[in-house]
Amino acid sequence: MESKQQKKKINWKLVGTVTFGVRRYFVLGSAAVLLAALTAYAIPLITSFTVDYVIAGEKLQTMPSVVYGWAEKIGGRDYLRSNIHIMALILIAAALLNGVFTFIRGRSVALASEGIAKVIRDTLYRHLQAVPYDYHKHSSTGDLVQRCTSDVDTIRRFVGVQLLEIVRTVAMLIVALIIMFSMHAFMALITTAALPVLFLSSFVYFRKVRKQFTLSDEAEGKISSTLQENLTGVRVVRAFGQQGSEIEKFTRCNAEYRDVTFKLIKMLGFYWGLTDILAYGQICITLVAGVILSVTDGFTLGQVMVFTAYAGMLTWPVRQMGRILADLGKATVSLERIDEILSHPAETEPGKALKPVIKGEIEFKNVCFGYDAYDDVLKDISFKACPGQTIAILGSTGSGKTSLVQLLQRLYTCTAGEIIIDGVNINDIDHRLLRSNIGIVLQEPFLYSRTIRENISIVKPDASDEEVYNAAKIAAVHDVIESFEKKYDTVVGERGVTLSGGQKQRVAIARMLMQNAPILIFDDSMSAVDTETDAAIREALNKRRKSSTTFIISHRITTLCEADNILVLDGGRLVQQGKHEELLKVDGLYARIAGIQNMLEQELNGGGVKSEHRDQGTGI
Ligand code: M5T
Ligand code: MG
C-alpha cells in the first residue's frame, strides 16, 4: 500500500458512481442553502424597513418599489405603525422560513453524505470479496479496515459538512454583495474590506496547521494500534510479564497524543482569537462609517443596521473557508486511497468458465509454482488421483504442501504444467463451481463469532438438526458440544466460549462435511487432535470417503498409512510416491520418518506413557 503523501488525482468516474443515487439531494440541499441565505439576509432588511419607514417615516430609494406598493395597499405607514405586530409577524415568518430551509438543507446533506458513505462502504466490501486471494495476502488488514472506515468517514464529513458549506459561503457572499451594492456601493466596499484578508489568512493558516492535524491523527492512530496489539496479544503479554513495559508504552503514546492535541487547540485558539479581533474590527468600522454617512450623506439608521448585521454574518463563513479548503486535500487523499482498492482488478475468469460435473479425478502434470517469479515453491509435480481415493501428503515444514492444495482450489495459478480435473484443465473450470466442489479444513481453522450450529451449517443454512449432529458426530465433537450449557447454540469466540485448538479443528471438519463435496482436503487438520480421536474421526470418515477424493496432509504415519497414494514432498519436489508398504521398502525420506516415529511410539509405550498424547513432531 502506498503512503498517504502522494500526488493527488481524483477519479471522477468513481465520484460519479458514488454520487449517482444522491444527486437530487445535492440539488435540493443547494436550493435550500440558497433560500436559507436569502431569508437570513431578509431579516436585517425587514428590521431596517421597520425602523426607517414604519417608525421614522422615511422612504428609502434602495428598497424595491414593490415593497412600498404593498405597504400603501394595506393602509400605508400609519396603518403599519398602529399595527406594528404585522412587522413582528413578518420577521417571525422570515425566521421560520429560514429555519425550514436550514432543516431541509441539513436533511438533504445528511441523506446525501450518509448515502454516499453507504455506497462507498458497500462497493468496497463487495470489491474486497471479489479481488484475488493474493491481494489479501499482500495487504495489511489494519490498513484495509482503515480505508473502509476512517477514509470513508473523511469523505462523508466532507460531503456532509464542508461541500455545502462552500456552496453556502459563495451563495451568502453573492446575495450579500448584490444587496449591499444596490444599497450603497461605498458602504458595501467598507463592509467587505476585511473579507479578503480573513480569507487569505484562514487559507494560509489552515495549510500550516494541517501538519498539526496530521500529527494529531497519527498520535491517535498510535494509541488505538497499541491498545489493539495489547488486547490481541494479551496472552503473550501476561506470559512474558510484559505488563509494565506495555503500560509504559501506552502512557508514552497517550502523553504524545495529549501534547500534540493541546498544541493544536492552542494554535486554533490563537487563530480564532486573532480573527475575532479582525471580525469585530470590521463590524466597528462598518458601524462608524455608517454613523458618519448618516450625518453627511443621509444614510438611515435602518441602513446602518443592515450593513453592520451583514458584516457580522459574512465574516464567520469566510473564516471557515480556509479550513474547508485545507480539508479538501484530506478528502482527496481519502478518495484516492479508496480508489486504490477499487481499481485493483477483481478475480478474473480467464478460462472458459466451464461447469463440468466434478467427480474427483485429479491429475497434476509437471506442475511448477512460485509465489514470486524468481523462486519456485513447487517443482515438477506429477501424480494422479481417482475418484474416491485418498491421497496423503507428507513433507517437512515449508516443503509446499499447503501451496499444492491452494493450487487445487485455484487460489493461485500454476506457472508451468497443468492440473486436470475430470478431464478439464482447472483454468477452464468456473472458479466458484470448482471451490464449491472442494471441502477444506485449513491448517488454522477460522470460525465465525456465531453459534456452533451456524458455523457448522454455514454452507447449508437450511440443514436439519439431524444433519448437523451427524456431521459433528463424524468429527467427534458432538459430545463436547452437548456438554456446553447452550449446546449447539453456544457462541464461538470473543463473547462466547473459546474453543480449544482441537475442538476448533473438529468443528471445522464438521463444517466441511456439510458441504458434501467430491474433493476433500485436510490441511494438517488433525494436528491438534489426540491420536485416538484422530483414529476415531478417520474411521467415521472412511465410510463416506469412498465417495470423495480426499487429500490428507499430515505428519503422522499412522494417519498416512491407509492412503491409496502417499506423496512425499521435500523442498517443493515430489521425491517419493506410492503406498505405505511400497515406500517402506525403499530407503528414502518416508522410510526414515516412519522409522523414527515407530521408534518413538515404542519408547513411549515401553515407558508406560499412553499413545493418546499428542504427537509433538518428529523433526519434520
Ligand atoms: C511453502 C512460501 C513459504 C514456504 C513455501 C502459503 C504460502 C507459502 N509461502 C509463501 O510465500 N506464501 C504463501 O502464501 O511457500 O509453503 P507451504 O506450502 O505453506 O508449506 P507447507 O504447508 O509444506 O508447510 P507447513 O509448515 O504447513 O508444514 O517457503 O514461505
Ligand atoms: Mg502448510
- Report which of 174, 153, 124, 164 is spatially closest to residue 25, judged by C-alpha positions: 164
Q: Is residue 369 part of a domain?
A: no
Give 561's DSSP letter.
T
CA 601 to CA 616: how far, in whole Å?
Answer: 11
Predicted confidence at residue 453, as pLDDT, reads 92
Q: Is residue 192 part of a domain?
A: yes
Predicted confidence at residue 189, as pLDDT, reads 93
Instruction: Say if residue 318's pLDDT is above 70.
Output: yes
Cell numbers describing residue 172: 451568502
**217 with 112, same domain?**
yes
Predicted confidence at residue 608, as pLDDT, reads 45
Cell numbers describing residue 472: 459433528
Q: Is residue 40 part of a domain?
A: yes
Compute the distance from residue 565 Cα to the ligand 2 centre, in Å.
19
Cα angle at 139 between 458 and 446, to 5 degrees? 25
Q: Which residues constitute the domain of residue 492?
A: 439-516
Compute the distance from residue 115 Cα to the ligand 1 centre, in Å.
43
**From 134, 371, 552, mutation site for ligand 1 pocket: most ligand atoms within 8 A of C-beta:** 371
370 ligand 1 Cβ < 6 A: no
503 ligand 1 Cβ < 6 A: no
Compute the distance from residue 294 Cα to the ligand 2 centre, in Å.
89
Instruction: Say if residue 247's pLDDT is above 90.
Output: yes
**From 139, 374, 394, 399, mutation site for ligand 1 pocket: most ligand atoms within 8 A of C-beta:** 399
Residue closest via CA to ligand 1's atom 5 equals: 398
Q: 379 Cβ partners below 8 Å, 6+ apart? A: 368, 572, 573
**Exposed e or buried b per residue across 405-418, where buried means at least 16 C-beta atoms within 10 angstroms of its C-beta:** bbbbbbbbebeebe
128 ligand 1 Cβ < 6 A: no
**312 with 450, same domain?**
no
- What's the structural domain count of the chain? 2
CA 597 to CA 604: how far, in whole Å?
Answer: 10
Nearest ligand to the C-alpha of residue 407? 1
Predicted confidence at residue 6, as pLDDT, reads 47
CA 325 to CA 317: how far, in whole Å?
Answer: 12
Q: Is 361 helix (H, G, I), strand (E, B) or coil?
A: coil
Kindly state the average pLDDT of the residues 143-161. 85
Name the domain boundary from 474, 491, 516. 516
Compute the distance from residue 157 Cα to the ligand 1 centre, in Å.
43
Name the domain boundary from 516, 540, 569. 516
Contact 4, 97 (CB under 8 A): no
Predicted confidence at residue 609, as pLDDT, reads 43
Which atom of ligand 1 approaches the CA of 372 most closely? 11
Q: If you search the block for the grid coordinates 470448482, which residue do you land on?
A: 434
Predicted confidence at residue 366, as pLDDT, reads 92
453 ligand 1 Cβ < 6 A: no
Kindly state the average pLDDT of the residues 226-231. 84
Exposure of 475 in the CB half-sphere (CA atoms within 13 A):
28
Predicted confidence at residue 190, as pLDDT, reads 92
Q: Is residue 363 part of a domain?
A: no
Q: Is residue 525 part of a domain?
A: no
Q: Give tens-digit pLDDT for 115-125.
A: 889 989 999 99
Predicted confidence at residue 64, as pLDDT, reads 64
Q: Is residue 95 part of a domain?
A: yes
Residue closest via CA to ligand 1's atom 17 equals: 400
Compute the distance from residue 400 Cα to the ligand 2 centre, in Å.
7
Confidence of residue 617 (pLDDT cuts 50, 70, 90): very low
Compute the distance from residue 527 Cα to the ligand 2 centre, in Å.
11
Instruction: Say if residue 250's pLDDT is above 90.
Output: yes
Predicted confidence at residue 495, as pLDDT, reads 54
Q: Distance between alpha carbon 161 and the CA centroid of its chain, in Å?
A: 21
Q: Give tens-digit pLDDT for 356-408.
A: 888 889 999 999 999 887 788 999 999 999 988 899 999 888 899 999 999 99
CATH of the domain at 498: 3.40.50.300
Nearest ligand to the C-alpha of residue 570? 1
Predicted confidence at residue 404, as pLDDT, reads 93
Q: DSSP secondary structure string, 399-434?
A: SSHHHHHHHHTTSS--SEEEEEETTEEGGGB-HHHH
Confidence of residue 615 (pLDDT cuts 50, 70, 90): very low
Share of the chain above pLDDT 70, in %: 93
576 ligand 1 Cβ < 6 A: no
Compute the distance from residue 407 Cα to the ligand 2 centre, in Å.
13
Name the domain boundary from 342, 364, 392. 342
CA 562 to CA 165: how far, in whole Å?
Answer: 73
8 ligand 1 Cβ < 6 A: no
Cell numbers describing residue 162: 464542508
**24 with 172, same domain?**
yes
**From 401, 526, 615, mutation site for ligand 1 pocket: most ligand atoms within 8 A of C-beta:** 401
**127 with 268, same domain?**
yes
Exposure of 49 in the CB half-sphere (CA atoms within 13 A):
24
CATH of the domain at 331: 1.20.1560.10
Residue closest via CA to ligand 1's atom 14 equals: 137
316 ligand 1 Cβ < 6 A: no
Which atom of ligand 1 approaches the CA of 137 most closely? 14
CA 56 to CA 49: how far, in whole Å?
Answer: 10
Q: Is 611 helix (H, G, I), strand (E, B) or coil?
A: coil
Predicted confidence at residue 446, as pLDDT, reads 86
399 ligand 1 Cβ < 6 A: yes
Compute the distance from residue 402 Cα to the ligand 2 centre, in Å.
4
**317 with 462, same domain?**
no
What are the two backbone dihedrals, phi and then psi, of residue 282, each rounded to the nearest 5 degrees? Answer: -60, -45
Q: Give tens-digit pLDDT for 321-347.
A: 877 877 777 788 788 888 889 989 888
Confidence of residue 1 (pLDDT cuts 50, 70, 90): very low
Q: Give tens-digit pLDDT for 534-561.
A: 777 777 777 766 778 999 998 888 888 8
Residue closest via CA to ligand 1's atom 8 equals: 403
What are the two backbone dihedrals, phi and then psi, of residue 176, each rounded to the nearest 5 degrees? Answer: -65, -45
- Report which of 396, 519, 499 is spatially closest to residue 445, judged by C-alpha positions: 499
Q: Is residue 388 part of a domain?
A: no
Q: 561 Cβ partners below 8 Å, 6+ apart? A: 580
Question: What's 158-207 look like in SS3?
Answer: HHHHHHHHHHHHHHHHHHHHHHHHHHCHHHHHHHCCHHHHHHHHHHHHHH
**338 with 443, same domain?**
no
Q: Give tens-digit pLDDT for 506-518.
A: 898 899 888 888 9
Instruction: List the strands of the sheet with 416-421, edge to edge.
Output: 424-425, 416-421, 362-369, 378-385, 573-578, 565-570, 390-395, 549-553, 519-523, 438-441
Q: Is 556 helix (H, G, I), strand (E, B) or coil?
A: coil
555 ligand 1 Cβ < 6 A: no
Q: Give tens-digit pLDDT for 25-74.
A: 888 988 998 899 889 888 988 888 888 888 877 766 556 666 777 777 77
Q: Give tens-digit pLDDT for 67-120.
A: 777 777 777 778 888 888 888 999 999 999 999 999 999 999 889 889 889 989
Predicted confidence at residue 498, as pLDDT, reads 75
Instruction: Say if residue 468's pLDDT is above 70.
Output: yes
**446 with 338, same domain?**
no
Q: Give tens-digit pLDDT for 296-315.
A: 887 888 888 889 999 988 88
Q: Is residue 618 part of a domain?
A: no
**43 with 155, same domain?**
yes
Nearest ligand to the C-alpha of residue 376? 1
Q: If you search the block for the grid coordinates 505428519, which residue do you land on?
A: 555
Predicted confidence at residue 62, as pLDDT, reads 58
User: Where is 384: in which H helix or E strand?
Assistant: strand 378-385
Count the neighbouring beta carbons within 10 Å of the beta carbon of residue 574.
22
**549-553 and 362-369 beta bridge pairing:** unpaired
Instruction: Say if residue 419's pLDDT is above 90.
Output: yes
Q: Give tens-digit pLDDT for 4-24.
A: 444 556 677 777 777 777 888
Confidence of residue 533 (pLDDT cuts 50, 70, 90): confident
Average pLDDT value over all residues in the chain: 84
**335 with 470, same domain?**
no
